[in-house]
Structure 1
C-alpha cells in the first residue's frame, strides 16, 4: 500500500495539504511569456531556449480604511504602539489618508496633535462631548506629518547628527505651525475635559497590564 494512503480510497493528507506539499501555490500565480526572437548586432535572429516566467501581480486599488463603529468623535483611545504607547488620547476625526487624528491633550499627558493607525488603538467606552470643537482654518494633514530633511549620501543630514548626539531614538522637532495648531485644538478640548469629574486624572494615567489580567475579558 502506498505511503500516502491510510486505507484504500482514503488519502493520508488532505487536498489542501497535498496542494502545499507539491508546491502548487508557487505555480498558480505565474505567467509564462512565449519565446521571443532577438535581433543581434549583425542583423541575425536567434530564439531563447528558456521560457521567461514572472509572477502575476494582483492589481488592487488601495482605498481609505473604514472607521470602526466603536470609534466616534470624542472617544478616548489607548495607544498600543509608538512613542506614546500606553497613553490615553481623545479622537478628533479621520483624515483623508485613513489615519486617526488624536490629541492627549499635551498639557495632560504629553501627547500632541498627531496621527495614529486605528489598528494600534483600543477604543474605550469613555467619551468626551466635543461639540463645537473645530480645527484651524489652515489645517491640513501635511501639518502633522514628520518634517523631511535634506538627504546627504542616502541619509538625512539632521538624522545623522541627531543620532550622533542623542542616540538612536532622536525625533525631529515639530514645526511652529504644528505647535500653534496643537495649542489651538487643546485649548478647546481642555474646556470639555475639565467639565467631566476625574476625566483629567483618567487621561493622565497610563494603561498597563498586571499578572492575571486578560485583555480579551476586559471591558474598556
Structure 2
C-alpha cells in the first residue's frame, strides 16, 4: 500500500507527482469546509431620533446615523497611489553567462538556438543567432522564456558597448490617412538603417570566428529544438 506521502513526492524540482486537485481529494480537505450561510446584516436606518434638551429645541431631533465627510476635494480627480516597492534590477540566472547558448521558447524565433551576449539595463537578455547561421538577428528576450544549455561560445572579442535598450527603439512611422488609403497613395517604407546592419555584421564576424573552431557547432546552432513523444523537458540535460 503506497502512502500519501510517497504518492505526493515530487518527480523533479517544482514538478509534483499529483496535481493540486488530486492532493485536495486525497487529503480530504473538502470535509473541513464550512458551507453554512452567513447571517444577513440588518439594514441600518439612515437617521435616528435623539433627545435634545432645552425648552425651545422641541425635545427630539432627527440625526443621521452616518456622519458626513468634513472635507471634500475642490477637483474630483483620481490621484494614483504611490508605489511603495523600490525598482530593483532583474537578477540573472546563474546558468546564463556571456557566451551561453540559449534555446528560445516564445516569440517569432521560438525553437531557435542563440548566443547570449550580455544583460541590458532593462533586465532583458541581448542575444544573436548569429544571423548568418540561423537567421536570428540581435534581439532582446526575457530570461523566463529561454532554456540555458551547457554549450558555450567565447564572446570576448565581441564589442557590445553600443548595444543598449536605446539601440532597439523603433522610430515613429507615419500611418496612411483615410484619404491616402482610399486613393491608393503609397506611403514610403523606411529602409533598415545601415548602421544597425553594419553593427550586426561586426558582432557576427567575431562570433563566427569562434564557432568555426568547434566541429559541429554551426549545425547545432542551425538546428531547431523540439520534443519527441515520450520526452519531457524536466528530464533532459541541456
Specify if TM > 0.5: yes
- Post-superposition offset of 1:12: 2.7
1:128-164 per-residue CA deviation (whole Å, 9 max, x = no partner) reads 12223222x544321133x1424xxxxx617x99xxx
1:79-117 per-residue CA deviation (whole Å, 9 max, x = no partner) reads 011110000000001111111111000000000111111
Aligned to 1:114: 139
Are the structure 2 counterparts of residues 74 and 37 from structure 1 closer, same or farther at C-alpha, using a change threshold of 3 Å? closer
Asked if 1 retains the 8 angstrom alpha-carbon contact of 2:112 and 2:134, the reply is yes
- Post-superposition offset of 1:59: 1.8
Please tell me whether residue 141 in structure 1 is matched to residue 176 in structure 2.
no
Asked if 1 retains the 8 angstrom alpha-carbon contact of 2:154 and 2:207, the reply is no
> TM (normalized to structure 2)?
0.60
Please tell me whether residue 126 in structure 1 is matched to residue 178 in structure 2.
no
Runs of at least 5 residues in structure 2 that lack an aligned partner in the other structure: 1-30, 39-67, 181-189
- Equivalents in 1 of 2:149, 2:73: separation in Å? 67
Aligned to 2:70: 36
Runs of at least 5 residues in structure 1 that lack an aligned partner in the other structure: 1-10, 22-33, 41-53, 151-155, 162-171
Aligned to 2:120: 95
Aligned to 2:94: 69
- Equivalents in 2 of 1:94, 1:38: separation in Å? 49
- Equivalents in 2 of 1:118, 1:180: separation in Å? 27
- Equivalents in 1 of 2:105, 2:73: separation in Å? 59
CA RMSD of aligned residues (A): 3.3
State the SS of the aligned residue for 2:140: strand
In terms of fraction of residues, the more strand-rich structure is: 1
1:23-67 per-residue CA deviation (whole Å, 9 max, x = no partner) reads xxxxxxxxxxx8234499xxxxxxxxxxxxx99775212222101
Aligned to 2:213: 195
> TM (normalized to structure 1)?
0.64
Aligned to 1:12: 32
State the SS of the aligned residue for 2:106: coil
Bigger radius of gyration: 2
Are the structure 2 counterparts of residues 13 and 131 from structure 1 closer, same or farther at C-alpha, using a change threshold of 3 Å? same
Asked if 2 retains the 8 angstrom alpha-carbon contact of 1:144 and 1:178, the reply is no
Are the structure 2 counterparts of residues 198 and 61 from structure 1 closer, same or farther at C-alpha, using a change threshold of 3 Å? same
